[in-house]
Chains A and B, each alone.
Chain A
Amino acid sequence: MEFFNAIVALSNFVVIPALAYGSQLALGALGVTLIYGILRFSNFAHGDTMAFGTMVTILMTWWFQSIGIGLGPLPTALLAMPFGIVGCAAMVLLTDRTVYRFYRAQKVKPVILVIVSMGVMFVMNGLVRFIIGPGDQRFADGERFVITARDFKTMTGLDEGMAIKSTQGITVVTAVIVVGLLFWFLTYTRTGKSMRAYSDNEDLALLSGINPERVVLVTWLIVAALATVAGTLYGLDKSFKPFTYFQLLLPIFASAIVGGLGSPLGAIAGGFVIAFSEVTITYAWKKVLVYLLPESLEPSGLVQLLSTDYKFAVSFVILLIVLLFRPTGLFRGKSV
Chain B
Amino acid sequence: MTQALVKRPLLNTRGIIFLCVLAAVAFGVPYLNGAGALPDYAVSLIGKYLCFALLAIALDLLWGYCGILSLGHGAFFALGGYAMGMHLMREIGDRGVYANPDLPDFMVFLNWQELPWFWWGFDMFWFAALMALFVPGLLAFVFGWFAFRSRVTGVYLSIITQAMTYALMLAFFRNEMGFGGNNGLTDFKDVLGFDLQSQDTRIGLMMLSALAVAIGFLICRAVVVSKAGKVIVSVRDAESRARFLGYRVEGYKLFVFVLSGMLAGLAGALYTPQVGIINPGEFSPANSIEIVIWVAIGGRGTLIGAAIGAILIAAAKTVLTGLYPEAWLFVLGGIFVFVTIFMPRGVLGVWDSMVDEMWRLRGMNPRERRLKA
A and B physically associate: no
B interface list, Cβ under 8 A from A: none
